[in-house]
Structure 1
Amino acid sequence: MRGKVVRPSLYLCFFFAVVFFTAGFSLSGMAQDFDSWVKDFKKEALAKGIKQDVLDLAFEGVEPKSRIIELDRKQPEGTLTFARYAEKALNKTRIAQGRRLYAEHRGELEKVAKAYGVPAPYIVALWGIETSYGNNTGGFDVVTALATLAYDGRRSEFFRGELLEALRILQEGHITKKQMEGSWAGAMGQNQFMPSSFFKFAVDGDQDGRRDIWTSLPDVFSSTANYLHTSGWKKDERWGREVVLPDGFDQKLVGLEVQYPLRAWNDMGLRLPGGGFLPVAGMSGSVVLPDGPGGRAFLVYDNYRVIMKWNRSFYFATVVGLLADQIAQ
């Protein structure tokens, strides 16, 4: 569950405004230091097998972007409740578009689902939540984003490694530099893989010799399914379901660390939203309350934990499951 975010004071807002305002006037000095950093990085990249022509093309015109650093350090102003998050994520347009795209690409999706043992609605749901079905992939040049964050120094080692992996993607010809767009943090393509995840999970679904998670839907679908399959997806189980808790439910029973068989949860008074009993199945589940006591309750299974390997957020995993249910209808 996401922790509460403290709203910054007016003094801190003014302080950071001054910092970023000043940064706008010192980019020439920043760029000068950046040039030295790039030279050192290129030496390392060459030593690790990146070709000179790839480096020259990748870093052509690349400069540090203060906007990327600002986004990395930015604190959201207040806490978004799950109720509000779900309302925004599960709007009628996204649900309708998901159903339409599922029908439009059913042949390819079902082929991928059969190959990886992951039902197609979950593939479509992750696509929808991550990038609104490919319509919002971030728009940042990935090399610029990763180079800026590696140069910034706060998490330099991590982003330096991701930058090297991004260069390998270019060197192997999976995508062009111009097409390699993603989030400000370097998450790429229609399913928002970091470069290191790309090499672990991306799949050449259309068998054209490239793993193109930017423009090839067979590659996007296969890569998403491969991630879930590799992470332990159980093909005959669902993610979970919404439930109603009995009055006086023991809050010590809430959390992924607490698991009981469905029959035990039935005995403890958990019911479906319409008042019915939970289905009889030989699986275990855990109760999660994304908004805490008094909010919506969900009984979730092992596949929910798999979704959380993709993004360790109760909010995210729950809306992916709910959207998959809506798309499947």
Structure 2
Amino acid sequence: MRFALPLALVLAGPAMAATPCGGDFGAWVVALKAEATANGIPADTADAFFAGLSPDARVLRADRSQGVFRKSFLDFSQSLISRDRLVRGRALADQWDAVFARAEAEYGVPRGILLAFWAFETDYGAVQGDFETRRALVTLAHDCRRPDLFRPQVLAALEMHRLGEFDLDTTGAWAGEIGMVQMLPGDILARGVDGDGDGLVTLKTSVPDALLSGAKMLQHHGWQAGQPWMQEVILPDTFDWALTGLETELPAEQWAAMGVQVRAGTVSNGIPASILLPQGRKGPAFLIYPNFRTLFEWNKSFVYVTTAAYFATRLTGAEPYLAGNPDPALSVDQMKALQGKLAALGHDVGAIDGILGAATRIAVQKEQARLGLPADAWPTVELLDKL
């Protein structure tokens, strides 16, 4: 049976104050080790876990250069979704049918969603990352960019090691995620599922453990059983583009009354929904339900989540999207210039990073409306010039 220290003890560290970030790395590790032992971790376990660690410059470079998310939705989705991935995903759905059926029965998460993240995170388990997880987590916890996120993850990985579920040579993604669906140690401790009944939660080697743990995590973050997440739609030419975007929710049947047509099936009456235009009014259009928003708990990238949600619909029978003919995407330099102008006007766009994230899209739409442009949240050279 799996016995863990209380999660609040592992993650919050009440016995000692949280170890501050930065400063001398060796001294910081000594302080964090003392914090861990004060919270119930055996000294020999902590000594073995922290032995020989040093900062990983490759992790820090990866943390500061996530250029793939600068791609447009069409470019990003076409680079991740291939016929081979579709065929393999559908074959795996059949191979692990009982596990997917259990995930939906117990946690309400359909197979398409789990398959999409399994595919995108690790190519169905084949590419799980070659970063040493201990070193990656300790590097990011010591770095002062996001210590509040990563310091608890170090302690969670240490607790997993105490349980026999984390080998010291465990490898994974640069940000410390582990296994076929790439979950952080804290999530594994809190919501890991022993899907194969061997008494351990091992997301690197056990498909049932990985898929059921991912399903439980999504349920925890609010996934609603039996509800949709995305449907492709066709909008009338006279549509009010200012109503699009995740900021506006209306009952799905109200969108239908405004002329929104679902390409396949019908709208889900009684459920709030939004209209999403990943590349503006000339590109694909989707009706987005609350379950879509839950996916941001798995990955914060707008283009990643939109692509994963779309791929999940493809895996469960949807036709390819109508790509349309969107206006050209801004270059990275142009996007940074636009973000700078938006920030100067008082909009919160987050980092000036050249990535069209949710905050930048909201600011773009507001300025489009102010300037009398079609307010579809897709930045163009025309908008940049007018600003």
Give 1:219's aligned amino acid: D
Per the TM alignment, residue 171 of structure 1 is displaced from its structure 2 partner at its CA by 0.8
Aligned to 2:195: 205
Corresponding residue of 1:185: 175
Q: 1:314 to 1:160 in 2, by over 3 A?
A: closer
Tell me the equivalent position of 2:55.
Answer: 64
Give me the TM-score of the superposition, normalised by structure 2.
0.71
Determine whether 1:91 maps to 2:105: no
Q: Which residue of 2 aligns with 1:134?
A: 125
Task: Report if aligned partners of 1:45, 1:164 keep a CA contact under 8 Å in 2.
Answer: yes
1:37 partnered with 2:20: no
Task: Find the counterpart in structure 1 of residue 303 from structure 2.
Answer: 315
Letter in 2 for 1:118: V
Superposed CA deviations along residues 67-119 of structure 1, whole A, max 9, x for unmatched, are: 11222222628931010011012111211111111111112221232222222
Cα drift, residue 202 of structure 1: 1.4
Q: Say if 1:270 and 1:277, in contact at 8 Å, map to a contact too.
A: no
Give the whole-Å Cα distance in 1 for the aligned partners of 2:310 and 2:147.
36
Indicate the SS of the match to 1:137: coil
Paired letter, 2:58: R
Give me the identity figure in percent: 36
Q: Shift of the alpha carbon at 1:223?
A: 0.5
Whether the 8 Å CA contact 2:157–2:166 is kept in 1: the answer is no
Sort the Cα spacing of 1:43 and 1:251 in 2 relative to 1 into closer, same or farther, 3 A.
same
Q: Unpaired runs of 5+ in structure 2?
A: 1-22, 318-387
What is the letter of the counterpart of residue 216 of structure 2? N
1:287 aligned partner: 275
- Verify the 8 A CA contact 1:256 1:287 in the aligned structure 2: yes
Residue-pair matches, total: 295
Deviates more, 1:57-66 or 1:189-198: 57-66
CA distance in 1, matches of 2:296, 2:250: 19
Taking the aligned partners of 1:280 and 1:135, their CA distance within structure 2 comes to: 36
Q: Within 5 Å, which residues of 2 pair with 1:77-88?
A: 79-88=70-79
Gaps of 5+ in 1: 1-31
Distance 1:39 1:279, change over 3 A: closer
Retained in 2: the 8 A contact 1:271–1:277?
no
- Please, what TM-score do these two structures have when normalized by structure 1? 0.82
Q: 1:260, CA displacement in angstroms?
A: 1.8
Q: Does residue 47 of the first structure (1) align with residue 38 of the second (2)?
A: yes
In structure 2, relative to structure 1, the CA distance for the partners of 1:102 and 1:212 (3 Å cut) is same
- 1:22 alignment partner in structure 2: none
How many Å separate the matches in 1 of 2:278 and 2:249? 17
Contact persistence 2:232–2:286 (CA under 8 A): yes
For the 8 Å contact 2:252–2:267, the answer to whether it is kept is yes
Question: 1:314 & 1:69 partners in 2: Cα distance?
Answer: 22
Return the alpha-carbon distance in structure 2 between the equivalents of residues 88 and 141 of structure 1.
27
Other-structure match for 1:260: 250
How far apart, CA to CA, are the structure 1 residues paired with 2:216 and 2:268? 30
User: Does 2:257 match 1:228?
Assistant: no
The answer to whether the 8 Å contact 2:73/2:307 transfers is: no
**CA–CA distance in structure 1, aligned partners of residues 132 and 234 of structure 2:** 46
Change (3 A) 1:175 1:78: closer
CA-to-aligned-CA distance 1:294-316 (integer Å, 9 cap, x gap)? 22111011211222232233322
| Structure 2 equivalent of residue 219 of structure 1 | 209
Q: Which residue of 2 aligns with 1:3?
A: none
1:185 CA drift (Å): 1.2
- In structure 2, the partner of 1:324 is 312
| Partner amino acid, structure 1, of 2:124 | Y
